A and B are shown apart, each in its own frame.
Chain A
Amino acid sequence: MRKLRITLLAVLAVILGAFLQYTLPQHDVVRIVNTYQERQDLNDWTRIFWATPDNQAAELINRDVQFIQTVKKKSWLFGFIRRDAEGVMVYRNEDTGWSWPPYLKFDTASLQTEADDLRSTPEAPKWAVMTHYGWRNELLSTFPNAVAIRPIAGPDVTIIPWFNIFFFVFVIVAWLFLRAMWRQFRQRSIDPLLEKGEDAFDQVENSAERARGRIGRWLDSWRGPKKK
């Protein structure tokens, strides 16, 4: 039972962690190589890895999507530990619109222009910080969605994830608040009810005992005196 509990909790934690890792913004140090636009079929379950910018897009089974091809500085641990190695990364560039995840991004065309403007060669690299969410998976053909791009002087830049810091502080505060609310609710609304219930239960039990006593005495009166 204990093992089952731990397993279930671990599975829940992994799902929640993956969800947050997919949804929260992350920053990559990149050099933009090229941008392109490609027709994408959106008719199977991998649809969930593409945005739904507006109502029309929800009904279409294929549409054009813009992409940004980059060379990326590799890193460990969600970008906290920088590595010397470089790899390639392709981002999609889609509006999230008013739907999930709530980035309220509508500036896809402008972002594509900014990306085009920052294109550079390995000989004269122009580095930039790419803010994005989502996963690159080559088997499922999923791409992280670019949210913002900011030119930087060199690839050795310190990035402080302000939004994520704020987000997790908010989650902790909200959780503490919810716990305080639940305690107050239990103490003020549930416990008094339970006490009342217990009182009522006691009364029923007492009267039942009294009744049993009466009936028992009446029965005893027929049995005659108890034999010792």
Chain B
Amino acid sequence: MGLIRLVAFGFLVLSVMYLAISWYSRSVRREKLEESWLQDHPGDTESEARAAYIRDGMIKYESGLRKKLILLVYVIPIVAALALLFIINAY
């Protein structure tokens, strides 16, 4: 029962973290795309080409490695908990 509660709460907390970090990472990527476009095309903040450039960049991000790395939010705490379980009880 305690394990079920720990897993349920842990999953909830980690999911909130996962969503927040995903949003942050996506937002930072979009900002970088906007800045790199502005450097090549000074003064252009509205055009169709800019929107397409940012859209392409975001599509690349969605299938990239960085997005998958955010899943470590789930992996690291589980590994840490298992390591703790082992260290505390096996020694």
Chain A residues with CB under 8 Å of chain B are 52, 54-55, 97-99, 102-107, 110, 147-148, 150, 180-181, 184-185, 188
Taking chain B's interface residues, is the majority helix, strand, or loop, or is none over half, making it mixed? helix
Sample 7 A-B pairs with CB under 8 A, ordered by A number: A54-B1, A98-B5, A102-B81, A106-B88, A148-B88, A184-B24, A184-B31
> 1/0 contact trace for B1-36 toward A, CB 8 Å?
111011000000000000011011001101100000
Known A-B contacts A103-B84, A104-B84, A105-B88; the reply to A181 vs B20 at CB < 8 A is yes
Q: How far is the CA of A4 from the CA of B1 in the complex (A)?
A: 44
Whether B81 and A55, one on each chain, are in contact in the complex, defined by CB atoms closer than 8 angstroms, is no
Q: How far is the CA of A55 from the CA of B89 in the complex (A)?
A: 20
By a CB distance below 8 angstroms, the chain B residues around A54 are 1-2
Whether B2 and A107, one on each chain, are in contact in the complex, defined by CB atoms closer than 8 angstroms, is no
- 3 tightest Cβ-Cβ pairs between the two chains A and B: A98-B2, A107-B89, A98-B6
Partner of B89, one of A99, A102, A106, A188: A106
User: Looking at A104, A106, A180, A184, which has the most chain B CB atoms within 10 Å of its CB?
Assistant: A104
Q: How many residues of B contact A (CB 8 A)?
A: 19
Whether B1 and A55, one on each chain, are in contact in the complex, defined by CB atoms closer than 8 angstroms, is yes
Chain B residues with CB under 8 Å of chain A are 1-3, 5-6, 20-21, 23-24, 27-28, 30-31, 81, 84-85, 88-89, 91
Whether B24 and A105, one on each chain, are in contact in the complex, defined by CB atoms closer than 8 angstroms, is no
Q: How far is the CA of A39 from the CA of B65 in the complex (A)?
A: 56
Known A-B contacts A104-B81, A184-B27; the reply to A147 vs B88 at CB < 8 A is yes
By a CB distance below 8 angstroms, the chain A residues around B81 are 102, 104
Partner of A103, one of B5, B6, B24, B88: B88
Partner of B28, one of A55, A97, A148, A184: A184
User: Looking at B5, B27, B31, which has the most chain A CB atoms within 10 Å of its CB?
Assistant: B27
Name which residue of chain B comes closest to A180, CB basis: B24
Q: How far is the CA of A107 from the CA of B30 in the complex (A)?
A: 50
Q: How far is the CA of A87 from the CA of B30 in the complex (A)?
A: 61
Q: How far is the CA of A54 from the CA of B89 in the complex (A)?
A: 17
Known A-B contacts A188-B27, A188-B31; the reply to A105 vs B89 at CB < 8 A is yes
Name which residue of chain B comes closest to A108, CB basis: B89
Whether B5 and A104, one on each chain, are in contact in the complex, defined by CB atoms closer than 8 angstroms, is no
